[in-house]
Amino acid sequence: MTTTTTQSVDVRIRNLHKAFGGREVLSGIDLDIPAGSVTAIIGPSGSGKSTLLRCINHLERPDAGYVQVGGEIIGYRPEGGKLRERSSRDVARQRASIGMVFQQFNLFGHRTAAQNIAEGQLAAGVGSAAARRRSAELLARVGLAGREGAYPSELSGGQQQRVAIARALARDPRLILFDEPTSALDPELVGEVLAVVKQLATTGITMAIVTHEIGFAREVADQLVFLDGGQIVAQGPPTEVLDHTDNERARAFLAAVL
Ligand code: ADP
Ligand code: MG
């Protein structure tokens, strides 16, 4: 079990607020994710799970509060007691250290697996030979050795998602965010993707994963967070939250999905 007292905190979220069109979607989130640990985020549809992940890599700008990763505030820097917006170049640098995997894979259909993986590296100025080697290495790591030349349409959903995971790892992120990585997959393909995520969890990278796979969360997560109406209403070791939460909403949700 990881605790903030024995391990350094990698992600620190404080008083995070985000509204869309006057409706608050995140209402004061406080959360620590220790370095090298896995946090699973569960909760009903519309509770703010994706928005929370998107705030962590600045795909959404918080209205108040902040997200700190590796000691740096994402998207802003302190200046004269205030937070100033960072330059887009600086935000790009911060984002490069945070991998993200989406429900819908988001691979480029007209590019091969290797090209999809290499894209971010090439944009960052890595040479094409080095990027090619790295793509091959990452494909092997997600169980797709030799599939460099495959186009997304030639791959199953589970294989495409594993390519997306390889792409998220290409620039050696310290942190990886998964937003329902198996929700778009046929049931028989879920296991191969979860196996890759589980293996990744043993490598010391920090992970946050939004998932409805409760059994997986129980097995792999160090910390489980239940989000409801833009607030964390239950939080702790998975067994504690899953088996013993006294939060009414969390119990009702778990009774429905388990
Ligand atoms: P979850 O991932 O838990 O299903 P989301 O974070 O996607 O929840 O969304 C939370 C709420 O915020 C939803 O009501 C959703 O419609 C709304 N929302 C999310 N993104 C936007 C946006 N870009 N513009 C307007 N409303 C949004
Ligand atoms: Mg979502």
Give me the DSSP letters along the chain. ---TTTS-EEEEEEEEEEEETTEEEEEEEEEEEETT-EEEEE--TTSSHHHHHHHHTTSS--SEEEEEETTEESSEEEETTEEEEPPHHHHHHHHHTEEEE-TT----TTS-HHHHHHHHHHHTT--HHHHHHHHHHHHHHTT-TT-TT--GGGS-HHHHHHHHHHHHHTT--SEEEEESTTTTS-HHHHHHHHHHHHHHHTTT-EEEEE-S-HHHHHHH-SEEEEEETTEEEEEESHHHHHHH---HHHHHHHHHH-
Q: Which of 134, 152, 172 is the last residue of a domain?
A: 172
- Rounded average pLDDT over 113-125: 92
Residue 6 has pLDDT above 80, yes or no: no
Q: Are residues 13 and 91 in the same domain?
A: yes
State the pLDDT confidence band at 120, using cuts at 50, 70 and 90. confident
| Domain end (from 172, 193, 216) | 172
How far does the centroid of ligand 2 lie from the alpha carbon of residue 46, in Å?
7
Q: Which atom of ligand 1 is nearest to the CA of 47?
A: 3
Domain enclosing residue 162, as ranges: 103-172
On the question of pLDDT at 81 being above 90, the answer is no
Q: Which ligand lies nearest to the CA atom of residue 103 in the structure? A: 2
Q: Is pLDDT at 19 greater than 50 in this prediction?
A: yes
- As to burial, measured by CB atoms within 10 angstroms (0-12 exposed, 13-18 middle, 19+ buried), residue 170 is buried
93 and 77 within one domain: yes
pLDDT of the residue at 227: 97
145 and 131 both lie in a single domain: yes
* Banded pLDDT at 7 (limits 50, 70, 90): low
Q: Whose CA is nearest to atom 14 of ligand 1?
A: 46
Range scoring the smallest mean pLDDT among 11-25, 114-128, 154-168, 169-183: 114-128
CATH of the domain at 75: 3.40.50.300
Q: Specify which of 49-63, 69-83, 116-130, 241-255 reaches the highest per-range mean pLDDT.
A: 49-63
Any atom of ligand 1 within 6 Å of the Cβ of 211 = no
Q: Are residues 136 and 26 both part of a single domain?
A: no
The mean pLDDT of 212-240, rounded to a whole number, is: 96
Residue 4: band (very low, low, confident or very high) from pLDDT cuts 50, 70, 90: very low
Q: Are residues 166 and 110 in the same domain?
A: yes
The owner of tokens 């935000």 is 91
Quick check: CB of 48 below 6 Å from ligand 1? yes
Which residue lies with its CA nearest to atom 11 of ligand 1? 46
148 plus 69 within the same structural domain: no
Check whether residue 7 and residue 90 sit in a common domain.
Answer: yes
Ligand 1 atom having least distance to the Cα of 48: 6
pLDDT at position 258, please? 77
Is the beta carbon of 50 within 6 A of some atom in ligand 1?
Answer: yes
Residue 85 — pLDDT band, cuts 50, 70, 90?
very high
Residue 25 near ligand 1, beta carbon < 6 Å:
yes
Give the number of the ligand closest to the Cα of residue 227.
1
Number of domains making up the chain: 2
Return the ligand 1 atom nearest residue 210 CA. Answer: 2
How does pLDDT run across 171-213, given as a tens digit for each residue?
899 999 999 999 999 999 999 999 999 999 999 999 999 999 9
Q: What are the residues whose beta carbon lies below 5 Å from ligand 2 (ion)?
A: 49-50
ipTM attached to this prediction: 0.98
pLDDT surpasses 80 at 2:
no
Last residue of a domain, one of 172, 190, 216: 172
| Type of residue numbered 234 | A
Same-domain pairing of 6 and 85? yes
Q: How far is the CA of 41 from the centre of ligand 2 (A)?
A: 10
pLDDT of residue 248: 92
The residue nearest atom 19 of ligand 1, judged by CA position, is: 51
**Are residues 119 and 29 located together in one domain of the fold?**
no
What pTM value is reported for the model? 0.95
pLDDT above 70 as % of the chain: 97
Ligand closest to Cα of 180 equals 2
User: For residue 180, which atom of ligand 1 is closest to its CA?
Assistant: 2
* Atom 16 (ligand 1) nearest CA: 46
**Do 60 and 18 share a structural domain?**
yes
Q: Are residues 90 and 48 in the same domain?
A: yes
Ligand 1: which atom is nearest the Cα of residue 45?
4
Does 146 lie in the same domain as 228? no
